[in-house]
């Protein structure tokens, strides 16, 4: 797919899926903005890998839950590249912190809401004027599978209706989502893997590249008539759990 001269912002590009997404867009010719928060070394690694593919890239530290930091990130992107074609709202912590109802950490709850829900709205808000100009698109990374939860999964599941809401509000800018299954971005024991495999029809754990390919497709011209959609990339997991 052709992304030559396109400008792509990826939030949380110091993490597993974000960093793979940065590489796949770069392989397809895009210039990349690598957003990160607390992992400068990982962001630097992604930056070097992306630049070695012959595209331009910068890394920007910004907390996506803070409007002033996101506004600065967008301003710096425009100063550097003059436009934005794609925003990938990927940042969030995985595996998630556990919220315990009986010994609640209220600040953790607020942080999850502010990052996983508000963060998508904040980044979309500041990028929107430029995406409208470029006829661009937004891809949110959500979890469209909520077996009932009181914490992280609930805030990620909000990403699906949020994606539809943004698609209506921001048209003709297209807004879609990818809902990953179990993707190996943290160290899993064999025992843990075997437990996960019981819930996956295609008997393998996912790799970040599985998600990156779906994001690339939704951002491409091949998906120009798709908006408000959530694509499950989970080996059929949502059919079982």
Ligand X SMILES: NC(=O)c1ccc[n+]([C@@H]2O[C@H](COP(=O)([O-])OP(=O)(O)OC[C@H]3O[C@@H](n4cnc5c(N)ncnc54)[C@H](OP(=O)(O)O)[C@@H]3O)[C@@H](O)[C@H]2O)c1
Among 180, 212, 214, 235, binds ligand X (CB under 6 A): 180
Q: Edge-to-edge, what's the strand order for the sheet holding 57-61?
A: 57-61, 31-36, 7-10, 86-89, 137-141, 174-180, 230-233
> Considering the rule CB under 6 A, would residue 15 count as an interface residue with ligand X?
yes
* C-beta closer to ligand X: residue 29 or 217: 217
* Among 192, 195, 199, 205, residue whose Cα is nearest residue 239: 199
**Rg value, the chain, Cα:** 17
> Considering the rule CB under 6 A, would residue 125 count as an interface residue with ligand X?
no
* Among 136, 137, 154, residue whose Cα is nearest residue 145: 154
Classify residue 204 as left (phi > 0), alpha (psi -120 to 50) or beta. beta
Calculate ∠ Cα 80-82-88, nearest 5°.
85
* C-beta closer to ligand X: residue 63 or 85: 63
Q: How far is the CB of 23 from ligand X (least distance, A)?
A: 13
Total of chain residues touching ligand X, rule CB under 6 A: 28
Inter-residue contact 50 to 23 (CB < 8 Å): yes
* C-beta closer to ligand X: residue 133 or 186: 186
Mark whether 152 is an active-site residue: yes
Q: How far is the CB of 5 from ligand X (least distance, A)?
A: 25
> Considering the rule CB under 6 A, would residue 23 count as an interface residue with ligand X?
no
* C-beta closer to ligand X: residue 28 or 115: 115
Among 141, 167, 173, 212, binds ligand X (CB under 6 A): 141
Cβ count within 10 A of residue 212? 25
Q: How far is the CB of 151 from ligand X (least distance, A)?
A: 12
Site for ligand X in 151-170 (CB under 6 A): 156
Angle subtended by helix axes 40-51 and 16-27, to nearest 10: 20
Residues with a catalytic annotation lie at 152
Positions touching ligand X (CB under 6 A) are 11-12, 14-18, 35-39, 63-65, 90-94, 115, 141, 143, 156, 180, 182-183, 185
């Amino acid at each position: 797919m052709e992304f030559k001269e396109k400008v792509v912002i990826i939030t949380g590009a110091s993490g597993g899926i974000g960093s793979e997404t940065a590489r796949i867009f770069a392989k397809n010719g895009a210039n990349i903005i690598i957003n990160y928060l607390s992992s400068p070394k990982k962001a630097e690694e992604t930056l070097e890998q992306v630049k070695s593919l012959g595209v331009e890239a910068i890394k920007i530290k910004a907390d996506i839950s803070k409007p002033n930091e996101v506004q600065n990130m967008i301003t710096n992107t425009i100063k550097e590249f003059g436009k934005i074609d794609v925003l990938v709202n990927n940042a969030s912590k995985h595996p998630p912190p556990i919220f315990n109802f009986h010994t609640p950490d209220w600040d953790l709850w607020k942080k999850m809401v502010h990052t996983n829900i508000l963060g998508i709205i904040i980044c979309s808000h500041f990028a929107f004027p430029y995406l409208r100009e470029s006829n661009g698109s937004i891809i949110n990374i959500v979890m469209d599978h909520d077996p009932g939860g009181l914490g992280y999964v609930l805030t990620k599941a909000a990403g699906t209706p949020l994606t539809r809401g943004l698609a209506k509000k921001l048209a003709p800018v297209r807004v879609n989502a990818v809902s990953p299954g179990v993707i190996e971005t943290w160290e899993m024991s064999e025992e843990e893997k075997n437990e996960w495999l019981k819930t996956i029809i295609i008997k393998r754990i996912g790799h970040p590249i599985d998600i990156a390919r779906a994001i690339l497709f939704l951002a491409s011209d091949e998906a120009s008539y798709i908006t408000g959609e959530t694509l499950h990339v989970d080996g059929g997991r949502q059919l079982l759990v």
